[in-house]
Structure 1
Amino acid sequence: MTSLPDSAPVLPEVTDPASIDWASIPSPAFVLDETRLRRNLALISHVQRESGAKIIVAFKGFSMWSTFPILREYGILGATASSLNEVILADEEMQGEVHTYAPAYSEEDFPEILRRSDHIVFNSLQQWERFRPQVEAARAAGRSIHAGIRVNPEYAEVETDLYNPAGPFSRLGVTRREFPDTLPEGIDGLHFHTLCEKDSDTLERTLEVLQEKFGTFLGSGQIRWVNFGGGHLMTREGYDLERLIRVVRAFREKWQVDVILEPGSAFGWGTGWLVSSVLDTVHNVKDAALLDVSVSAHMPDVLEMPYRPRILGAGDPPLGDHREAEDVPPGHLYIIGGTTCLAGDVVGEYVFPKPLQVGDRVVFDDMIHYTMVKTTFFNGVKHPDIGILRPDGRYDRVKVFGYEEFKAKLS
């Protein structure tokens, strides 16, 4: 976890995963550790207080609504939504400010989005002109609706194209060359999102480009707020919190605007696990273990990023995935795969201290942010429960998925 300066509050001690009785937790299950969540929230609250920014939770990265009362305890009073469904969840369950951005709004959804939102960001000038009459009518009726335009500074330090919103020919945001000479009437905010789990030095460099390209509009007197988007991984070990606080303060003071940060990963980072069980082991030159979870259905970022998740108590093969089968490493090597019929439903190779047996728990680390919101019911495999490990050691099984949830996605 990130360390704090002397001025920050004392952070709670977190649960040692080795002390958890994993066999007592029904498998499969996403398990959030409340103490770890509170530790993250203490960090986020510190940044919010010291920087003067408003920090809201991005539902696209973390929308476990059973934890929203805990978020409110730490002064998290809003959420950002990217669809009508997320808007409704923010309005009904987060019960705070609703900030909405979507690449495009439909005529069917927009009236309800407008009714439930406090800030609405438009991805294009055409979208703003199309829905401007409805926004102005709501304002005339007494609603305080803030409207913004997403801009694309055409600068990002994101290595994976799939997650780079400022890449070539991006459909996300208006570039400077496509921006008018004056701000559209009725717009009082700007929004950008170019980070992906980055440190505050990346934000500082991004702001230099943003101010160079859009400084004329920032200093126009019309802009009252700027949304810095997400990707601020302020709860990761080694993140430079003091730089973030300094950069946000300087921007606010220079341009006399409110600053909004909307991280998703920072809330759920390092807060929990995906608990699975071994259903079978097979041998085809190498040993493989089949789990009661699916990589493609329950951990899709493993294939999309791609990245290699940590498994508690397991290590990497000495020579990686391309080792010869006869190069037996210390311990017991297994290809770890899911239970769907997709051939590529595989995590990779791991070394375990002893042979795996049917029923053994295999626990994937750091599986709360983004992972939970991307799950599917592919192949009809059992969807993991959602549970919370309380500070007193009690385990709350807050959601169990069954046939009805699977059936509800079909017709």
Structure 2
Amino acid sequence: MTIISDLINKIPSPCFVLEEALLERNLAIFARVQQEAPVKVMLALKGFSLFHSFPILRKTLPGASASSLWEAQLAAEKFGGEVHVYSPAYRDEDLPQILPLASHLTFNSVTQWERYAPIITKSSSHPSIGLRINPEYSPVKTALYNPCVPYTRLGVLENQLGDTLPKGVEGFLCHNLCESDSYALEKTLSQIEQLFGRFLSQLKWLNLGGGHLMTRKEYDVDHAIEIIKAFHKRYPHLRLIIEPGSAIAWETGFLLSTVQDLIPTPALTNVMLDISFTAHTPDCLEMPYKPVIRGAHDPQDGEKAYCMGGSSCLAGDFIGNYAFTEDLSIGDRLIFEDMMHYTMVKTSMFNGVVHPAIGMIKKDGTFVLWRKFSYQDYCARLG
């Protein structure tokens, strides 16, 4: 979607900007997947929880998945439909509040299920109970994002179960992917059958978690549909579920920033921005990855290199290096592409730096401002 400069100049800086047309483009892919394969697609709030967009998402997605009480409340109050809840460890004070909200409730260990089973069986709310399993396979190279590393705390191993499921368990959750392709999904299903096949006849549902990047241009959607159909043919009684996080909001919006200062050095020019990578786009430093800037490219020999510097005092709050066809000037606006997923859900107010506003460019080309933050918001987080 081409964004004219006149519109960009009307958007406050910094600002997270969702593009409605691009979000609907992604949802069309998931609509097709649900029509052609026996699988339901949930919104994973841990990746994208911009509730202003929920009226758009609800047209395609039947519910949302949550990782905590607060996310479950958000799903129930703002999204509706099914609410799938999984937490690595539930708190005594949270679970009674989660029960009336959840349609599906998954436990990270048999111990946690056995601990809370008496409470759940006595409750008037009866979500379908699941266990998270560890398939002992993940294609994820970055350890920080790999839930199947040795001695992981996430999920039940095959050798920790007997030949029958714990009483009351009706489903499995397997989450081992991160921005992965259909061949990783195929391998995952193979691992589940190999390690946990003896339980599949006892289940009602299988949740294949997130990390299915079906909206990436290179993703083979046809292959994913075929392997899901083939798996379901072998286990027709199973209800299959996926809960993408990144994929829903993949390449659907940007983070707008403004150049505040330029600091030249013999090797490069530091660009001082009104955003912070550590506070506003932490995945750039954690993954790490270098975000795309509209109109920029990797520096070639002889080109001026610009290093993007964040607005916090953290020495490592920078991303580089970039080159532009024209020299940058103070006041120039820069667009960091693909900044919807795992940004707003992970932002902080470290250093009290100005928090990006949130808005959307509608299909008619107009901009709507949903949220602007203030000093009072900063204070409210501290007491």
Determine the structure 1 residue equivalent to 2:227: 247
Determine the structure 2 residue equivalent to 1:362: 334
Q: Deviations over 1:91-123 (max 9, x none)?
A: 000011110001000101110011211100000
Looking at structure 2, the residues matched to 19 and 249 of structure 1 have their Cα atoms a distance apart, in angstroms, of 46
Change (3 A) 1:171 1:22: same
Say whether residues 1:47 and 2:33 are aligned partners. yes
Q: Deviations over 1:230-262 (max 9, x none)?
A: 000011102111111111122222122000100
Alpha-carbon shift at residue 17 of structure 1 (Å): 4.1
Say whether residues 1:134 and 2:115 are aligned partners. no
Q: 1:313 aligns with which of 291, 295, 304?
A: 295
Q: 1:90 aligns with which of 55, 65, 75?
A: 75
Say whether residues 1:27 and 2:21 are aligned partners. no
Alpha-carbon shift at residue 23 of structure 1 (Å): 2.2
Query: 5 Å matches for 1:58-137?
Result: 58-74=44-60, 76-137=61-122
Q: Deviations over 1:351-384 (max 9, x none)?
A: 1122211211011000001112111100000000
Looking at structure 2, the residues matched to 162 and 379 of structure 1 have their Cα atoms a distance apart, in angstroms, of 25
Alpha-carbon shift at residue 134 of structure 1 (Å): 1.8
Query: 5 Å matches for 1:118-267?
Result: 118-138=103-123, 141=124, 143-219=125-201, 222-255=202-235, 256-267=237-248
Looking at structure 1, the residues matched to 160 and 5 of structure 2 have their Cα atoms a distance apart, in angstroms, of 56
Write the letter of the residue equivalent to 2:325.
Answer: P
What are structure 1's unaligned runs of at least 5 residues? 1-14, 319-326
Q: Percent of aligned positions with the same letter in both sequences?
A: 48
Write the letter of the residue equivalent to 1:253.
Answer: K
Looking at structure 2, the residues matched to 189 and 292 of structure 1 have their Cα atoms a distance apart, in angstroms, of 46
Alpha-carbon shift at residue 48 of structure 1 (Å): 1.1
Alpha-carbon shift at residue 333 of structure 1 (Å): 2.1
User: Taking structure 1 as the reference length, what is the TM-score of the superposition?
Assistant: 0.91
Looking at structure 1, the residues matched to 5 and 188 of structure 2 have their Cα atoms a distance apart, in angstroms, of 42
Looking at structure 2, the residues matched to 51 and 288 of structure 1 have their Cα atoms a distance apart, in angstroms, of 49
Q: Deviations over 1:37-88 (max 9, x none)?
A: 00001111110111121110000111110010111122x1200000111000
Looking at structure 1, the residues matched to 328 and 153 of structure 2 have their Cα atoms a distance apart, in angstroms, of 47
Q: 2:9 is paired with a residue of what secondary structure?
A: helix
Determine the structure 1 residue equivalent to 2:306: 334
Q: 1:211 is paired with a residue of what secondary structure?
A: helix
Determine the structure 2 residue equivalent to 1:37: 23
Alpha-carbon shift at residue 290 of structure 1 (Å): 0.2
Alpha-carbon shift at residue 284 of structure 1 (Å): 2.8
2:44 and 2:210 in contact (8 A); partners too: yes
Determine the structure 1 residue equivalent to 2:374: 402
User: Taking structure 2 as the reference length, what is the TM-score of the superposition?
Assistant: 0.97
Q: 2:378 is paired with a residue of what secondary structure?
A: helix
Q: 1:386 aligns with which of 352, 355, 358?
A: 358
2:257 and 2:275 in contact (8 A); partners too: yes
Q: 1:348 aligns with which of 312, 317, 320?
A: 320
2:26 and 2:215 in contact (8 A); partners too: yes
Write the letter of the residue equivalent to 1:225.
Answer: W
Alpha-carbon shift at residue 18 of structure 1 (Å): 6.1
Q: 2:100 is paired with a residue of what secondary structure?
A: helix
2:99 and 2:126 in contact (8 A); partners too: no
Determine the structure 2 residue equivalent to 1:290: 272
Q: 1:373 is paired with a residue of what secondary structure?
A: coil
Alpha-carbon shift at residue 336 of structure 1 (Å): 1.0
Q: 1:376 aligns with which of 345, 348, 355?
A: 348
Write the letter of the residue equivalent to 1:188.
Answer: E
Q: Deviations over 1:325-368 (max 9, x none)?
A: xx632xx3211101111111101111112221121101100000
Write the letter of the residue equivalent to 1:154.
Answer: E
Write the letter of the residue equivalent to 1:328.
Answer: G
Looking at structure 2, the residues matched to 179 and 274 of structure 1 have their Cα atoms a distance apart, in angstroms, of 46
Write the letter of the residue equivalent to 1:273.
Answer: F
Determine the structure 2 residue equivalent to 1:269: 250
Determine the structure 2 residue equivalent to 1:6: none
Q: RMSD of aligned C-alpha atoms?
A: 1.2
Alpha-carbon shift at residue 21 of structure 1 (Å): 3.5
Looking at structure 2, the residues matched to 21 and 397 of structure 1 have their Cα atoms a distance apart, in angstroms, of 12
Q: 1:267 is paired with a residue of what secondary structure?
A: coil
What are structure 2's unaligned runs of at least 5 residues? none
Q: 2:297 is paired with a residue of what secondary structure?
A: coil
Alpha-carbon shift at residue 16 of structure 1 (Å): 2.1
Q: 2:305 is paired with a residue of what secondary structure?
A: strand
